[in-house]
Amino acid sequence: MSDCLFCRFVAREIEPAVVAETDLSLAFKDINPQAPTHVLVVPKRHVPNAGALAAYPEELADVIDLARTVAEQEGLDSGYRLVFNTGADAGQTVFHVHCHLLGGRQLSWPPG
Ligand code: 5GP
Ligand code: ZN
């Protein structure tokens, strides 16, 4: 999808700050980090949100596994958070599903 920002990252039409990659997924730094580690992990396939990603179990598993790999790379031994904002009320602003990997500080719960 040429009008999708994250598809353009996947195609490298725009080069994000990539931290890791598999055949199915790409992990890159969030441009507006909310924690010392804030990485977005996306499937290379254009899928709009987490609910729709359930139809692609291989991609879903790969996104979670790549997030785990990045957490290990970043030394997040004491914990990290994975978040899929899904829909406008949850604050989703980019409609190519992405897993937020957050860590490197104490994270409060519940989120706002
Ligand atoms: P959402 O609000 O949809 O859950 O998350 C979208 C995320 O994409 C936000 O955390 C935002 O900072 C990030 N983002 C938006 N535009 C860009 C960009 O051009 N580059 C990168 N690396 N991240 C972006
Ligand atoms: Zn896309």
Task: Output the pLDDT for position 34.
Answer: 97
9 burial class (0-12, 13-18, 19+ CB within 10 angstroms)?
buried
Confidence of residue 101 (pLDDT cuts 50, 70, 90): very high
- Domain CATH for 92: 3.30.428.10
pTM above 0.95, yes or no: yes
The Cβ of residue 79 has, within 10 Å, a number of other Cβ atoms equal to: 11
Domain with 28, as residue range(s), is: 5-103
Tell me the C-alpha distance between 69 and 79, whole Å.
Answer: 13
Ligand 1 binding pocket includes 30 (Cβ within 6 Å) = yes
Overall number of domains in the chain: 1
Dist. CA 102 → ligand 2 center (Å)? 22
Is residue 23 a part of any domain in this protein? yes
Task: Output the pLDDT for position 2.
Answer: 77
Contacts 24+ apart (CB under 8 A), 7-12: 7/46, 7/96, 9/42, 10/42, 10/44
Locate 42 and state its tokens: 């996306």
Q: 18: Cβ–Cβ under 8 A, 6 or more apart, which residues? A: 26, 27, 28
Per-residue model confidence as pLDDT tens digits over 72-100 = 999 999 999 999 999 999 999 999 999 99
Ligand 1 binding pocket includes 108 (Cβ within 6 Å) = no
Locate 77 and state its tokens: 């031994």
